[in-house]
Structure 1
Amino acid sequence: MSTHAETAGPQDPGRQLHCLVTGAGGYIGGRLVPELLDAGHRVRCLARTPAKLRDHTWAGRAEVVRGDVTDAASVADALQGIDVAYYLVHSLTTGTGFEGKDRTAARIFAEQARAAGVRRIVYLGGLTPAAEPARALSPHLRSRAEVGEIFLRADVPATVLRAAVIIGSGSASFEMLRYLTERLPVMVTPSWVGTRVQPIAVRDVLRYLVGSARMPDGVNRTFDIGGPDILTYEEMMRRYAAVAGLPHRLILRVPMLTPRLSSLWIGLVTPVPPALARPLAESLRHEVVCEEHDIARYVPDPPGHPLGFDRSLSLALQRVREANVTTRWSSASLPGAPSDPLPTDPDWAGGSLYTDRRQRDTEASPHALWEIIEGVGGDNGWYSFPLAWALRGWLDRLVGGVGIRRGRRDAARLRVGDSLDFWRVEEIEPDRLLRLRAEMRLPGLAWLEMYADPQSGSGARYRQRALFHPHGLLGHLYWWSVSPFHAVVFGGMARNITRAAERLSAERADNGPEENR
């Protein structure tokens, strides 16, 4: 839809714009803010709870104001001095009344944007099938379409981007695809897995959002955005399995799974909440395929874009494959790209990551504790249940793995890249952290982290984490089968390492100041 005469070419291409982002705590908003900042714009975020944005790496570069899109006064204040206003707020409830709330909030935002002299509103909505009347759409798709129409009828030029499934770690649609495919080698699925979808990489969504800020004032319309591939949901699951290196999936369709039953099924198989799974399942009843690619007139596609589905999957899975634990899931602190997880992503984002945590306080000095940590493996052993470690090494050798016989390069010192029995040293922070990555044959990726934390006054705290990212159903079964032994193996390890540190610290004290380092 277009109500203003269109003119080609962006206006003021070198001018810094002042942008307001609503929904900065959400999946797209949290990734859009740094992209706008890197493009040279000033950014203000409107948030009901500003404290929830403090963990973002961009928090110190953007202005954050308190407010709610349903409160006209706070919206009016937030829009003062703004050139481009991004509306990235959606209701994700399944209760009654959410459509009315979305409608009211959009009208308030449009009215206050006009009053504040905002040059453009940019809205990201859902791709809807052109052939279906609004009454046939799912409630959530219908609401998103209505919000887009409200902005297009307003007195402020609007860019309404319509996307289907967004591929990136943390996206609800992608996480549902990830969990369903990884956990179910045999799937009994609803008929909507045969619906055609045009997925898009989150990198391309953000590129279009940033580029929309400089659209000519006469442009007021919707734009369909999608990647180059049109796939059924079943094909998406099969291709996910191929990219992730999983065995071929057997998919059986049944017609009787309603959206409500589908959401319960998704909630049973995945950690995606049923309240979120239901609108996703309802939306997948509709074929969502782009009917135009006019956005390229205003935001030209660089070489290699839009990204294909397989490439989008690879980028979304890349962090796990690189074993970059520090940028994983909800504890990520330094995301390197829009496809990566953010610290504010929900706990269920990023795939499964099983963790065994142990912690013990000790009277040993931090230096003595670190010496014991850095000396693990090889002839020194692993400080717990030697038979279990030897048996695990023997089993690894039996299936063609490296086993536990590699030992270590140096009896006292480690460096990044060293082999250590069936581990590899991935990271060392002297006197603080040793991170090992497993190189044994496993149905997944595993790490072991050991920390020496100084305590106030004297003594130290030993912290230990064993992490496992399962690969398919076999990976989950592996973790569940070995977890009963963790109390003996990992619990004993934490206990014996701190005791060894205390003995070493006591020996140093007995030997006098020259030895007590």
Structure 2
Amino acid sequence: MDRLAGRAPRTHTDDVHDDTTPTSGPPGAAHEVGDGAGRLALVTGVSGYIGGRLVPELLAAGFRVRAVARRPEVLRDRPWIGDVEVVRADASDAGAIAEALRGVDVAYYLIHAMSGGGSFSAKDRRTARTFARAAAAQRVGRVVYLGGLYPEDEELSTHLESRREVGEILLDSPVPTTVLRAAVILGSGSASFEMVRYLTERLPVMVCPKWVSNRIQPIAVRDVLRYLVGSADMSPEVNRAFDVGGPDVLTYLDMMRGYAEVAGLPKRRVLPVDVMSPRLSSHWVGVVTPVPKQIARPLVESLVHEVVCKEHDIARYVPDPPEGLLGFREAVRLALQRVQEANVATRWSSASLPGAPSDPLPSDPDWAGGNLYVDERTTVVDAPAHVLWRVLEGIGGERGWYSWPMAWALRGLMDRFSGGPGLRRGRRDPHHLMVGDAVDWWRVEEREEDRLLRLRAEMRLPGLAWLDLRVEADPVGRTLFRQRALFHPKGLAGQAYWAAISPFHEVVFGGMQRNVKEAAEAAAREAPAGATLVR
């Protein structure tokens, strides 16, 4: 097990996000929202939407934080990375996770398998049992788990049933456990918010399944984080689940109409129908919104049930703030503000898609004899290196890929219908990238400021693919844009795929070379003399 020792925690006043930062408690009651007092908190799922936001909240509350990741390198660009201890471990590896839990006061279990495969429930159970046994062996003070809100005495979907089972496994362990059960979590970049946003914005007239009339109790992400941090202070005799939700009980139809009002959109017309199953609905959501069907399906399946809190006992242990919990409209307003300001801390796409390749490009690949195909191009750019870098770091999303937009859109649509992410994931930030960020159907695998951006394809392919974008200098000091597309085929299908797309490389990759060069040179001409382009 590898470790990267961090420095002492600090208060992250520079990382405040209005839709994330929990509101403070009454004067003199800081302990009510979690007074870490130097205690050690372990966080799993740190590359995901909630985990990535929980870490700075724990640091701000005074906890020492140990972040667990299977690939710690994907965390290296996070703003809090220098303030935490990072441990390489897989929660399903008994030895590694036991060592990671050594000396921990409170452990946050934020692991969910989102795969649609038939074995994911069994994997969820095995991982939860391994974690629970390790936490007990290491005498961890408390485990906190964020699960899903579900109705009693109803047949649950496979995903929701798995969330229930994991909660019960953790509660049955000797370690005092808090299970927080939430329905729809609203915040900039959350999958639930993105679903509401894109369905409402793109479809002024919608044919919707009857589940849009089911009642839901959404909760703002800042209140979820407040409950997570505050749960660390529960006394040892507390071992139970809590329903957590915001102050509003709405139907999904109410949520879409409410979003339209907050966003200043015309009133949406909705035509409910009885024929759309969760499976069909998830395909529909996958086509209309950036959220792919693998993630949309468990979200949709939870909406088939009425998910309303049956109690609010959590307030006895983590008191509500004086101004109350954040309502639906205010949560939407703040989330939209973060999106418009391009100030989104984490997104649903922060975690890799189920089934997406995660193999990094080997530094010294031993593939030979045609097993690694390369399309390499180099162009001299009449612009400073840092100007070219800004263009490359801003690639994808709204700016596109600087070549044949119709071809990229068509390939993205094909990928979308085959179950891949397509081009609709966009970017977390329009100007700046971090290792681990999603960029359309790519994932940032490597980033070196002013020098290298390596993207790994997560689209559906018969092989593994990377796009390497480099800024270099030639012997006489000119700026070079070096671009490499690499493909490692799998079987005959992979060989055939490369042969089929090779004739289009001059248009796609050659066009990218020319257009990136022109964009960088134009940016250099427009910048005042001696100025440095800012993000």
With structure 2 as the length reference, what TM-score do the two structures score? Answer: 0.62
Q: Give the one of 263, 267, 270 matched to 1:244.
A: 263
* Contact 1:56/1:343 (<8 A) preserved: no
Name the residue aligned to 2:140.
118
Is there any run of 5+ residues in structure 2 with no aligned partner, and where? 1-30, 354-377, 389-449, 451-470, 482-510, 530-535
Alignment of structure 1 residues 84-103 onto 2, 5 Å: 84-103=106-125
> 1:176 Cα shift?
1.2
Distance in 1 separating the partners of 2:523 and 2:190 = 45
Distance in 1 separating the partners of 2:387 and 2:151 = 66
Q: Give the one of 62, 83, 106 matched to 2:128.
A: 106
> 1:154 Cα shift?
0.9
Name the residue aligned to 1:65.
87
- What is the percent sequence identity of the aligned residues? 57
For residue 207 of structure 2, give the secondary structure of its aligned residue in structure 1: strand
For residue 33 of structure 1, give the secondary structure of its aligned residue in structure 2: helix
Q: Give the one of 133, 140, 149 matched to 2:159.
A: 140
Change in Cα spacing, 1:251 to 1:362, as seen in structure 2 (3 Å) is same
For residue 350 of structure 2, give the secondary structure of its aligned residue in structure 1: coil
Q: Deviations over 1:373-425 (max 9, x none)?
A: xxxxxxxxxxxxxxxxxxxxxxxxxxxxxxxxxxxxxxxxxxxxxxxxxxxxx
Distance in 1 separating the partners of 2:383 and 2:278 = 58
Alignment of structure 1 residues 439-454 onto 2, 5 Å: none
Q: Give the one of 337, 341, 344 matched to 2:350.
A: 344
Whether 1:173 aligns to 2:192 is yes
For residue 227 of structure 2, give the secondary structure of its aligned residue in structure 1: helix
Q: Give the one of 305, 310, 324 matched to 2:324.
A: 305
Q: Deviations over 1:199-219 (max 9, x none)?
A: 000000000000001111111
- Matching residue's letter, 1:196: R
Name the residue aligned to 2:203.
184
Name the residue aligned to 1:230.
249
Change in Cα spacing, 1:101 to 1:365, as seen in structure 2 (3 Å) is closer
> 1:35 Cα shift?
0.5
Distance in 2 separating the partners of 1:368 and 1:166 = 39
Change in Cα spacing, 1:289 to 1:65, as seen in structure 2 (3 Å) is same
* Contact 2:176/2:239 (<8 A) preserved: yes
Whether 1:254 aligns to 2:276 is no
Distance in 2 separating the partners of 1:275 and 1:368 = 38
Name the residue aligned to 2:103.
81
- Matching residue's letter, 1:97: S
Whether 1:270 aligns to 2:296 is no
> 1:458 Cα shift?
3.8
* Contact 2:194/2:290 (<8 A) preserved: no
Q: Give the one of 174, 177, 192 matched to 1:158.
A: 177
Name the residue aligned to 2:69.
47
Name the residue aligned to 1:32.
54
* Contact 1:363/1:458 (<8 A) preserved: no
Q: Deviations over 1:156-176 (max 9, x none)?
A: 100000000000122111111
Q: Give the one of 229, 244, 258 matched to 1:210.
A: 229
- Matching residue's letter, 1:171: S
Alignment of structure 1 residues 425-436 onto 2, 5 Å: none
Is there any run of 5+ residues in structure 1 with no aligned partner, and where? 1-8, 329-334, 348-358, 370-431, 433-452, 463-486, 506-517
Change in Cα spacing, 1:361 to 1:112, as seen in structure 2 (3 Å) is same
Change in Cα spacing, 1:492 to 1:66, as seen in structure 2 (3 Å) is closer
> 1:343 Cα shift?
9.2
Distance in 2 separating the partners of 1:11 and 1:277 = 32
> 1:125 Cα shift?
0.4
Distance in 2 separating the partners of 1:259 and 1:15 = 46
Name the residue aligned to 2:315.
296
* Contact 1:126/1:144 (<8 A) preserved: yes
Change in Cα spacing, 1:34 to 1:318, as seen in structure 2 (3 Å) is same
Distance in 2 separating the partners of 1:138 and 1:71 = 28
Distance in 1 separating the partners of 2:123 and 2:276 = 29
For residue 82 of structure 2, give the secondary structure of its aligned residue in structure 1: coil
* Contact 1:56/1:342 (<8 A) preserved: no
> 1:298 Cα shift?
1.0
> 1:150 Cα shift?
1.0
Name the residue aligned to 1:437.
none
For residue 32 of structure 1, give the secondary structure of its aligned residue in structure 2: helix
Change in Cα spacing, 1:10 to 1:171, as seen in structure 2 (3 Å) is closer
With structure 1 as the length reference, what TM-score do the two structures score? Answer: 0.64
> 1:493 Cα shift?
11
> 1:494 Cα shift?
3.8
Change in Cα spacing, 1:366 to 1:221, as seen in structure 2 (3 Å) is closer
Distance in 2 separating the partners of 1:144 and 1:301 = 26
Name the residue aligned to 1:282.
301
* Contact 1:35/1:210 (<8 A) preserved: yes
> 1:308 Cα shift?
0.2
Change in Cα spacing, 1:45 to 1:497, as seen in structure 2 (3 Å) is closer
When the two chains are superposed, the root-mean-square deviation of aligned CA atoms in Å is: 3.4
Equivalent pairs counted in the alignment come to 361
Name the residue aligned to 1:20.
42
Name the residue aligned to 1:200.
219
Distance in 1 separating the partners of 2:525 and 2:37 = 60
Change in Cα spacing, 1:255 to 1:15, as seen in structure 2 (3 Å) is same
Distance in 2 separating the partners of 1:27 and 1:192 = 26
Distance in 2 separating the partners of 1:277 and 1:307 = 25
For residue 251 of structure 1, give the secondary structure of its aligned residue in structure 2: strand
Distance in 2 separating the partners of 1:495 and 1:31 = 35
For residue 43 of structure 2, give the secondary structure of its aligned residue in structure 1: strand
- Matching residue's letter, 2:350: T
Distance in 2 separating the partners of 1:72 and 1:492 = 48
- Matching residue's letter, 1:305: G
From the CA coordinates, give the structure whose radius of gyration is larger: 1
* Contact 2:32/2:319 (<8 A) preserved: no
- Matching residue's letter, 2:68: L
